[in-house]
Amino acid sequence: MGPHMRILIGWDNPDECELISLYLGVSENELIICATPEDFMSQVLEQHDWDIILMSIMSPDPQTAFDHFEQIRQKHLDTPVVGACPTQGTFHVARFLTAGMRAYIIRDEGGDFMFLLETTLQSVVDSVRAERERFVAERLREEVESVRKLQESIIPTNLISPDRFDVTARYESSQIRVFGGQPVTLAGGDYYDVFMLDDDNLVLLVGDASGHGMKACMSIMTMHTLVGMIRSNKYLDTAAFVKDVNNRLCNQAIVNDDGGFITLLYGILNSKTNEFQWTSAGAPIPMIQELETNQVHELGTINDGGLPLGIVADAEYDIHTSFVPPDSRLLIFTDGLAEAFPGEKESFGEFGIPGIMQSLQSSRSVNLEQSLENLFRDSNAFTDGSGRHDDTSVVLLERKN
């Protein structure tokens, strides 16, 4: 049996009320049994949260009972109603069922129907709960899908790059889960952007909101809006830009409620000097791969990353300047790429920085798009089929000469 039920009963045989109370009270159900239509309707018209209502459809007569039933439906639309009638009155049942009655019980002369009362009522309550859960699951699935589409709309598709450079990027949400019987791609909290600040300077950025799902997605949408607003200021100082974004995010409850934050790697590549100026707010350190020697190295250490955004107002951030040599590739990414691990076995280690470096090196002779594809493929393969448990954004740039 399921959890106890709150049951309102309108009955027309006072002698049976005590027996009904006995049969339905054994499982600690909460009961109110009314022996007259007047008592029953006064209970109906009071504001009570019943799990189920059981009523005689013959009391005081079928027409009045039907009028009462319609009042119940208006007052308690979500509460299932079960009707009871004697064998010779079953032809009245059709009218009630058509109007929304969930089920009915035939009252036999010997009273054996009482043995089935609790099972019948419980099955109706369980059925209604299951329907509601399916309905909520479906609505929630649609909500997640609409937020995910909103997120997709902010991720750029046609990336432009200066002469002598190619750039490619990709966002992939975390594992597809089955929800409400259907596969759902979860809304995520990752983001990348690539745009020309002016004729010479190319902005590259990746962001990652803490947590998963809708809140993370809304946090990243908030950051995207802020980046768009202050993008017109044309900051050439990456640290000043990140500081400005941080101060504004510190005032955004959607981001920092429950200890939320966003990591960001914000960089500007000068296509004339080949200098890459970057600032990290808790993001992984960028990497350079020199294709001639096939050496891959990080452009700094973990200490070169500042505080994530949205935690402390007026936090200071550092500018780092790196040179992008001829015939090389520059990688910026969120930690979902490195933090892939096999199944639930985090103790077995993660794909990590060594995995990323090895993937880049094995892709030395393929084009930029394929190298990016290989990064995602190799990281995913490391999970032994369980998939990455975090969203992942990657931007990969190549200097040709």
- The per-residue DSSP string of 97-111 comes to HHTT--EEEEE-TT-
The whole-angstrom distance between residue 5's C-alpha and the CA centroid of its chain comes to: 32
The domains spanning 6-133 and 155-399 adopt the same CATH topology: no
The whole-angstrom distance between residue 97's C-alpha and the CA centroid of its chain comes to: 39
Query: Whats the size of the chain, residue-wise?
Result: 401
What pLDDT score does 294 carry?
97
What pLDDT score does 394 carry?
95
155-399 is a CATH 3.30.420.40 domain: no
d(CA 374, CA 366): 10
* Assessment of whether the complete model's pTM goes beyond 0.85: no
Extents of the domains making up the chain: 6-133, 155-399
The whole-angstrom distance between residue 348's C-alpha and the CA centroid of its chain comes to: 28
Per-residue pLDDT of the chain (401 residues; tens, 9 = 90+): 557 899 999 999 988 999 999 899 878 899 999 999 999 999 998 878 899 999 999 999 999 999 999 999 999 989 999 999 998 888 899 999 999 999 999 999 888 899 989 999 999 999 999 999 988 888 887 877 787 787 788 888 889 999 999 999 999 877 555 555 555 566 678 889 999 988 999 999 999 998 777 778 888 888 888 888 777 777 788 999 999 999 988 888 777 777 789 999 999 999 999 999 999 999 999 999 999 999 999 999 888 889 999 999 999 999 999 999 999 999 999 988 887 766 655 556 778 899 999 999 999 999 999 999 999 998 888 876 665 567 889 999 999 98
Asked if residues 283 and 304 have their Cβ atoms less than 8 Å apart, the reply is: no
Closest CA relative to residue 304, chosen from 322, 292, 291, 327? 322
3-state secondary structure of 79: coil
* Phi, psi (deg, nearest 5) at residue 367: -70, 175
- For residue 202, the surrounding DSSP H or E stretch is strand 201-209
Q: What is the DSSP string of 158-173?
A: S----TTEEEEEEEE-
Structure tokens at 363: 């892709």
What pLDDT score does 338 carry?
82
Residues 78-134: tens digit of each pLDDT: 999 999 999 888 889 999 999 999 999 999 988 889 998 999 999 999 999 999 998
What pLDDT score does 49 carry?
86
Residues 222-259: tens digit of each pLDDT: 888 888 877 777 778 899 999 999 998 888 877 777 77
Pick the CATH number of 6-133 from 3.40.50.880, 2.60.40.10, 3.40.50.2300, 3.60.15.10: 3.40.50.2300
